[in-house]
Amino acid sequence: MYISNSMEKEIEKRKLQSYNIEDIDKIMKEVESTVKVQTILISEEGEEKQTSTGLSMGIAYVSGLLIYILTFMFGAQVMRGVIEEKTNRIVEVLISSVKPFQLMMGKILGIALVGLTQFFLWIVLTLIIVAYAQSTFLPDDLPIPNNQITQSIMSADQNLDIEAAQGAVSIPELNELQLVLESAKAINWPLILGSFIIYFLGGYLLYAALFAAIGSAVDNETDTQQFMMPITIPLLLGLFVSMAAFQNPDSSLVFWFSFIPFTSPMVMMARLPFGVPPLELIISMVLLILTFLGTTWMAAKIYRTGILMYGKKPSYKELVKWLRYKNY
């Protein structure tokens, strides 16, 4: 692409030179312009705030990707921990003191707290970096952006000629970092961070219960491959749909996937920076919590039976049979 663009520019330059126009390079340099589009967020009350679509896309991308990575990473960590305890026969000693459900939830919640600790450390470090950048790189008196005629100049003289316009925009270009920081003020950060914590916990707890059930059903990590696909596919679907949310956050596909509990942690976080009605956000969270409770109940029934099963490769039929066992 770079080579193609360079050749196009060179061919265009030579074609222009063939017309024998004097000072063609100077003319082309003078007419070259840069256009920057600034988006404005208008609330229902008519209040206008400067915002940035690029910044919203960045937040959506990072939050959706982070939930995917953390959910998969910490969920797999739960599964490996269960397999290790089962292989070393440590679990046989542990369940003499606690119930299998308590043991499973203790492992899941413990790793969840590790993830939250990392998340809060990231927030603190980010705030420190932003504060340092704002105090170091941004001046107190902010210059007017280059290549832009302000509204006040246009109002003062509607017949402003080209020379006057060139003189009016000779002030140095506004710092890009400042534009990002100014646009960031329009984003509801408490809502973004609070929703991230809820969706991270809900998505992690949902998938971690499934990972724990798989770990209890097998004797080694190699045997987990046959059970990983039903868990991996929803996670990947959620990641891919969240990428589509950047282009059209209100499309039907993105809308419905933001309510499906197995994909909503990633997709809803990708929609959130662009604005989501409070009712839709509440419904999505409630569905996620209810699904987590149901999934945990099913995983606990598999966990309590599989944790003491050795020497037999389980199948899906065997897992369904464990689900039907009565409580004991």
pLDDT, tens digit, 9 for 90 and up, residues 261-317? 999 999 998 888 888 888 999 999 999 999 988 888 888 888 877 777 776 777 777
> Which residues, at least 6 apart from 236, have a Cβ–Cβ distance to it below 8 Å?
none
The domain ranges of the chain are 54-138+177-323
pLDDT tens string 152-193: 444 444 444 444 444 444 334 445 666 666 667 767 788 888
Cα 230 from Cα 13, distance rounded (Å)? 57
Residue 18 three-state SS? coil
Separation CA 50–CA 181 (nearest Å): 10
Task: Find, among 88, 87, 306, the residue nearest to 214 by Cα.
Answer: 306
For residues 242 and 325, what is the distance between their CA atoms, to the nearest angstrom?
A: 38
Pairwise CA distance, residues 295 & 311, whole Å: 26
